[in-house]
Amino acid sequence: MADWLLRRFQLVERGSRPGRELLAGATTFLTMSYVLFAQPAILSNAGMPAADVFFATCVTSAVGCFLMGWLANYPVALAPAMGHNVFFAFTVCGVLGYSWQQALAANLLAGLFFLLTARVGLREQVMATVPAPLRYAIAAGIGMLIAFLGLQWAHFVRDDPVVLVGRAELGNPVAIAALAGLAVAAGGLALRLPGAFLAGIAASAVVLHGYGLLKTEGLRHPLALPSPSGTTLFAFDFTAFFADPAAVLRATAIVFVFLVLDLFDTVGTLLGLSHAAGLLRGDRLPRAGQALLADAAATVVGCCVGTSTVTSYIESSAGIAAGGRTGLTAVTVGALFLAALFLSPLAAVIGAPVELDGTSYYPTIAPVLILVGALMATGLREVRWNDPSEAIPTFLTVIVMMSTFSITDGIAWGYASYVVLKTLQRQRLPMPLYAVSGLFFVYFVVIEWLAGS
């Protein structure tokens, strides 16, 4: 068995050994396991059953990790992406008013197209429509948006009739629990400790338990398999996409955003992690096609089972730092996600909302969202802030995305301002960039006109 592992995953060639790969996989899993609690909490806001989402998260993450390890032999783990789930639940289902079944259908179409790009090389053409500054801006904008959601779920902010958003009183149990989790998780990140997010979740849960707000009666049997209802399996609804020309255009824009988010998130993460693991050959990533295929296939499987976009996780860097160099690390993470199915009762208790003054809060999940938002904003350092044609679109993308709670709106403002300002500077842009900008223009002008007529 050991000899087969050595040959299959090229452990000797990459200077690794089975024990080190298993430890690296465990480290990566601890670092990213917060998704087990966050994903059901976020998608339940779209009306999806939390137990079904938890089941889908475990199974889909395992499938993605197995595919990545087997096909690409990379120490990269996959799971439903933070930010993408917020777009799914709060933009597509919330702001735009689609059902979660319709959102799954749009996500499936994006996943299938991503699968096509992974096989026939279209990804470069699609990526050409996203200028580098907007890639950083979109990631940062999503980070700000989910951090803002975290501030709300932590009861750090409140509605204010004068300035829309104001500071909430922090002496309530929800805010205190969230502050405890935020302090522990942030401290763990500063010390580069694996499982920092998990420790923060645990700290918030302990404080909630002290206030008697944690529903521990659900932990009579702490280890048990989930009992999903099956309502999310192949629960696609395409009917609203073809009701009229406006519906087709709106659906096209949603699918495009899902696709772009998945593409640049995956490509950027893979390049960064591969550099850290010493897998790059010059500027080329060997077996990039297999890695993208694994990512795309996992997204399609996730939509069929009942969860949002699956992508490569930057948290895999923790396992790489622990010595992971091959796909055996990813396979280990996948096995641990399957084992996590037995933690269903714990996930249901930890991720359950806390009611306060008639409003639902998620103090155990909120610190994770706030800190993930901070980590997603780091790419802004790459923007050329001394160039107004790049600084202004970047700023507009971030601020509009956060303030309107719409990833689509933020991207549209970024594209429009980028094309206009670069054109004023007489710079030539790729034709697909003009086409995408035109799509967003039609989306926001024609759609609003049709809606008002």
Give the model confidence (pLDDT) of 64-105 as tens digits.
Answer: 999 999 999 999 999 999 989 999 999 899 988 899 999 999
Residue 142: the pLDDT is 86
| Average pLDDT estimate for 252-281 | 78
Q: Which of 129-133, 272-276, 422-426 has the highest mean predicted lDDT (pLDDT)?
A: 422-426
Short-list 308, 371, 375, 318, CA closest to 80: 308
Q: Between helices 431-452 and 245-277, what is the axis angle to 10°?
A: 140
Alpha carbon separation from 426 to 387, 412, 419, 421 (Å, rounded): 14, 21, 10, 9
Express each pLDDT in 286-314 by its tens digit. 777 888 889 999 999 999 999 999 999 98
- Number of residues that make up the chain: 453
Comparing 12 with 371, the larger pLDDT belongs to 371
How far apart (Å, rounded) are the C-alpha atoms in residues 411 and 397? Answer: 6
Residue 277: the pLDDT is 73
Express each pLDDT in 106-118 by its tens digit. 999 999 988 887 6
Q: Average pLDDT over the chain, rounded to whole?
A: 86
Alpha carbon separation from 50 to 29, 199, 227, 430 (Å, rounded): 21, 22, 10, 43
Residue 207: the pLDDT is 95
**pTM, full prediction:** 0.84
Short-list 316, 357, 315, CA closest to 158: 357
How far apart (Å, rounded) are the C-alpha atoms in residues 159 and 146? Answer: 17
| Average pLDDT estimate for 311-332 | 90
How far apart (Å, rounded) are the C-alpha atoms in residues 82 and 105? Answer: 19
Express each pLDDT in 3-31 by its tens digit. 776 677 887 787 788 888 999 999 999 88
The dihedral region occupied by 287, where left means phi > 0, alpha psi between -120 and 50, and beta the remainder, is left
Give the pLDDT band of residue 400 (cuts 50, 70, 90): very high
Give the pLDDT band of residue 161 (cuts 50, 70, 90): confident
Query: Is residue 453's pLDDT more than 50?
Result: no
The answer to whether the Cα torsion of 73, 290, 79, 273 is positive or negative is positive
Express each pLDDT in 238-263 by its tens digit. 988 887 777 887 888 889 889 888 87
Q: How big is the chain by its Cα radius of gyration, in Å?
A: 22
Give the pLDDT band of residue 199 (cuts 50, 70, 90): very high
How far apart (Å, rounded) are the C-alpha atoms in residues 166 and 149? Answer: 14
Helices (H), 33-131: 35-43, 50-67, 84-86, 100-120, 123-127
Residue 384: the pLDDT is 93
Residue 313: the pLDDT is 92
pLDDT above 70 coverage of the chain, percent: 90
Picking from 158-162, 178-182, 310-314, which range would have the lowest pLDDT averaged per residue? 158-162
| Average pLDDT estimate for 161-165 | 84
| Average pLDDT estimate for 420-439 | 85
DSSP label at 160?
E
